[in-house]
Amino acid sequence: MSVAGSGGRIQPGRPGDPSRVGPYRIIGRLGSGGMGVVHAGLTADGLRVAVKVIHPAQAEDQEFRARFRREVQLSARVKGPCLVPLLAADTEAAEPWLATAYAPGPTLNQHLAGHGPLADGTLYAFATGTAQALTAIHQAGVVHRDVKPQNVILTPAGPRVLDFGIARASDGTSVTRTGVMTGTPGWISPEYYRSSTAGPEGDMFAWGALVAYAATGRLPFGTGAPDAVAFRVMSGDPDLVGVPERLREILERALAKDPSERLTAAEAGEACSRLLAAQATQVLGGEGGLEPTQVGELVMNEWDMPTLDDPAWHAPSPPSRGRAVLAVLVAAAVVGGVAAGTALAFRGNGDGDTPARTGVAERSPGGPAASTAARPNAPASPARAGGPGGASTSSVDPRRAVVPSDPLAGVADPAFTRAGETTEPTPEEWRASTVASTSEEKDVEKAIRDRMTAMLATKDMAFMTPTVTFNKRAQTVMVTGGPVSQIPEDDQEVFRRAGDMAACTALAYRLKDHPTTWPYGRFVISWKNVDGDLEPSVLGFGEATDGCYSVIAGQWHGDESGIATAAIPSSDKAEIRVADAADKAITADWNARTAEDDGLVPLAAGDTIDLGFDPVEGAAYVWARDTSGGLIGRAQRANFQDAASTILCRKLTAEYRSNRAWDYTRWSVAVYEGNSGEPELIGSGECAH
């Protein structure tokens, strides 16, 4: 039962269907199956989601519930291109559920039945995109084990691989019934038939069959009784007649009987991206591999699927940052309620399971930046340098660079003359902006792009490549993202905050160094919803003369945006390692304190202490879920803040001194009371380094 969508059409609800599931309003059904029902849902801001709710009979089966919990854990672990992101889940509810972003479009099976095989650029984009998806899955230490046409949706923005119902970790752990064959005949590898061995190589065998099927409309090992299909898989040659020659060579390697002879998902993705580039340009693309951003652009440009819509979907309301943050926090709280789910998302185990970060100066669309001063030691590691052009030297640690909080102070005749204006730049001004033309503009463009990419990459969001343009008349730099189909609002919010910080710091340095010649002091962060969008959504805007960090009375403070970003899992190995060590140490210290002091109340069973990072403001967040009220009193909270900040600063400082790419020196501690989805921040500060 796929959760992402069902061709874009909503079926009417039935008696007994819920009106809400978690934070989502239910407006109909997308499909149903033996496991449960997939509902069409909407967030408060109109984001379309698909919500899988398990049948009560299945929910009563503890073995099934364990398998479902495993599905949620593995889905949360995997992020990347051509996948459908998990938004929230509750595996311990009476009727367990999970929600993903909605992916409109038919399955590969449905498309082939109605329109025939894929061809030309669309075929190569399909092969490239699905290989990229498997690369992300395998790099997360997961084996899909059910790659088949029913589990690939052809959305207008590209193919999407889904359904981790029988996936397993590559370390061998799974919750599949012993002795039960999992997978679908025709999409099972030879080694699995022989010895039940299921590794990444098995996924690649199924991928080869999948792409062959997409290219020809025929099952590569034919149809018939399952044992006959199994015999052909183990002993026969696949039917690849009609597959383009260069693609056939790749598929033959993927379909090798010996798993050791198969190419990896990454190798398949690179090989197919070359075919895609050749299709796009009619020449093969060089010796070196294409950058991931180039591959993503090629898939989008060559993909040819109609845009689908259904009047039953309610038109989304204009984006609201306040509501977006709340939605993120609600989703984080829901996922945090999943047994073992929080540990998966925020307690790194070496497989990439840890939260990331967020936190720029709070700026609201239509208003200036809220911060008024710069952080004394602005986080700007060599990879995230915020100086002019992003330049740094080996003799000066760029992390200690001071971002000017008032770069035009004392300047009698600055080139930037629109300081203090609160009028939001218009779509006409955005359309009139142009690409960088001078060396100074190109330096700033590079500084913004490099820093944004570095911040977004820690959250597996580097695919959101920004476009930076300039409008000299409006004295404004435009940072634009999109389009990305069905992108979660929390990801879009991270893009806004990263763009906010990158643009603000780059412009602040330039204004400080060249106040009488540099005309740009304002910036706008926008998002295109479709290609050719002439009026992109404005996510936020501000100016670099107001300061770039959230500082109150000279002291940095964490905020809800920061903790929302911190709750997004990180893909950075150093962050995962530090988070795991700090989380365990803080939990152990708090348990020891409550055991020794009768005045302190330990957390209730099931409550957790979690840790995540905000790359935008270089901050680590620690939060506790307190359902029993043990952290209500002032003394309790003071002790908890002391335990968390002391250990966290020790870990952050040690990493800062040994790792020049590490720029986290701030901390903030929060508590979620009861079942509240909104955190209460109880302390913030900076660690001595």
Residue 280: predicted pLDDT = 66
**What is the pTM (predicted TM-score) of this model?**
0.49
Say yes or no: do domains 20-101 and 108-302 share a fold: no
Q: What is the CA radius of gyration of the chain?
A: 26
Locate the domains of the chain by residue range: 20-101, 108-302, 360-556, 560-686
- Of residues 324, 356, 281, the one with CA closest to residue 569: 356
366-400 b/e (C-beta count within 10 Å ≥ 16 → b): eebbbbbbbbebbbbbbbbbbbbbbebeeeebbbe
> How far, in Å, CA of 465 to CA of 453, rounded?
7
| H or E stretch at 502 | helix 489-513
CB 398 within 8 A of CB 387: yes
DSSP state of 549: B
- Of residues 497, 501, 484, the one with CA closest to residue 536: 484
Place of tokens 């359309």: 431
Q: How far is the CA of 154 from the CAs of 80, 112, 161, 198, in angstroms?
A: 16, 11, 9, 26
CB 214 within 8 A of CB 220: no
Residue 495: predicted pLDDT = 94
- C-alpha dihedral (529, 533, 537, 542), degrees to nearest 10: 130
Which residues have CB under 8 Å from 634's CB, separation 6+? none
Beta-strand relationship, 522-527 and 476-481: parallel
> How far, in Å, CA of 5 to CA of 366, rounded?
35
> How far, in Å, CA of 80 to CA of 84, rounded?
9
- Specify whether 17 is catalytic: no
DSSP state of 649: H
> How far, in Å, CA of 431 to CA of 534, rounded?
7
Regions of the chain where pLDDT drops below 70: 1-8, 33-34, 163-185, 196, 280-298, 300, 307-312, 314-396, 485-486, 553, 675-676
CB 176 within 8 A of CB 145: no
Which residues have CB under 8 Å from 246's CB, separation 6+? 275, 278
Residue 255: predicted pLDDT = 95
Residue 460: predicted pLDDT = 82
Homologous superfamily, domain 20-101: Phosphorylase Kinase; domain 1 (3.30.200.20)
Residue 248: predicted pLDDT = 95
Residue 176: predicted pLDDT = 38
Other beta carbons within 10 Å of 66: 13
- Of residues 265, 285, 140, the one with CA closest to residue 208: 265
Q: Which of 146, 559, 610, 626 is catalytic?
A: 146
CB 124 within 8 A of CB 84: no
What φ, ψ does residue 168 adopt, rounded to 5°? -145, 160
> 478-497: per-residue pLDDT in tens?
999 988 766 777 788 999 99
For the domain bounded by 108-302, which CATH number is listed?
1.10.510.10
